[in-house]
Amino acid sequence: MSAGLDLEQRYRRVLRLLPRYYRDRWEEDMVAAFLDGWMTGDPDEDSVTMEYDRPTREEIVSVIALAARLHLGGAGAPRRFFAWGQAVRNAVLGVMLAHAVWGLSQLALFARSRHLIGWLPPPPGGFWPVLGYATGYAWIVVFVALVLADYRTARVGAVLVLGATVASVVHQQLAGTLVSPAATWAYTVVIDVAPALAMAAFHRDAPPVRRRPWLLALPAWYLLVSVPVLWAELSGHAAWVPDVVGRCCLLVSLVCLFHAARVWSGRAGTGVWSLTLLLLAAVTGLYRIISLPVFAQDSHLIVVGLVELLILAVTAALVAPDAVRSQSATPAPLGYQELR
């Protein structure tokens, strides 16, 4: 793939991962420092090195880490990169909030199993169900740690949860209990792996999260959505309740609608939240699409899923123009320097 290139050109290829504004300032310097580390002063040896050697994996990883931090900018980043950084951080918090709400539901089932709540059905026992509850509780820890800026705890928790989730899916596949293995793996990637990787946006330069609204959102979502849904299911009205993906579609659509009204009334601010909602709509829409094959035997549910997708697409389109605005109109964060 890189035939004909020398070591310098190979390294410059890696540096293309960095934003242009950063390369304009640092690329030549980085190349000089990189090559200084390889050159010995012996022309023959240096010639062989230039022709045959490649940047080490560690060097490439360090550039990838730098690129992630710059593209998902924090304080001091140019406004376009800062807006993307904020939107990805908000979207990750949104997905983690959904996971944490699910964890709260698991906690309620556990309380039932200990006879703390009498009216809930008892949960199944055994290793894998218990691992499922533990995964749910761990998502709560990950979400709260992110909000409290304890990023190390959040990352360790996310790695453990991902490990348990993958183990559980493998177990179900081997046991032949998955309705659609491809769909299950696809949404494991979309709602578990991808948001966990996007936690890279919570780096040292990331501005602190506004704690109170996010922490209040957890019990609010549980009490206003999960509890009524549980009540409807237990009281024999399950047919009227959308599945969990459908509920996510409708919830994101509602927030898009509410936010669009704010945008039109001129109270929306910088466009970062519109970009956040577009990201959440994309994740939720993808989740809906890849979960549709599960309904292959029921055309009515397929139609319901498509209607949910349509509602999501229309409401997301309402905030799209404002999201585009975020690429130029986001106020410069603290420490921003026009020439950087």
Partner 1 sequence: MTGQAFFVLTALADGPRHGYGIVREVVELSQGRVKLKIGSLYGVLDRLSADGLIEPDREEAHDGRLRRYYRLTDGGRRALAEEADLRAATARVVRARLGLTGPKPAGAAG
| Residue numbers at the binding site for partner 1 (CB under 8 A) | 22, 25-26, 28-37, 39, 58-59, 61-66, 69, 76, 204-205, 335, 337, 340
Of 152 and 267, which has the nearer Cβ to partner 1?
A: 152
Place of tokens 């709400």: 101
* DSSP string covering 70-81: HHS--TTS-HHH
Of 15 and 109, which has the nearer Cβ to partner 1?
A: 15
Distance CA 206, CA 154 (A): 15
Residues 6+ apart with CB under 8 A from 307: none
Least CB distance from residue 339 to partner 1, whole Å? Answer: 11
CA dihedral of 257, 309, 90, 23, whole degrees rounded to 10: -120
CA-to-CA separations, 29 to 23, 32, 251, 301, 327, in angstroms, rounded? 9, 5, 49, 58, 29
Distance CA 193, CA 162 (A): 7
Distance CA 4, CA 50 (A): 11
Least CB distance from residue 85 to partner 1, whole Å? Answer: 15
Of 25 and 237, which has the nearer Cβ to partner 1?
A: 25
Residue 88 φ/ψ region, left for φ over 0, alpha for ψ in the -120 to 50 degree band, beta for the rest: alpha
Least CB distance from residue 17 to partner 1, whole Å? Answer: 9
Least CB distance from residue 145 to partner 1, whole Å? Answer: 20
Least CB distance from residue 247 to partner 1, whole Å? Answer: 41
Of 171 and 203, which has the nearer Cβ to partner 1?
A: 203
Of 76 and 129, which has the nearer Cβ to partner 1?
A: 76
Least CB distance from residue 98 to partner 1, whole Å? Answer: 32
Of 65 and 182, which has the nearer Cβ to partner 1?
A: 65
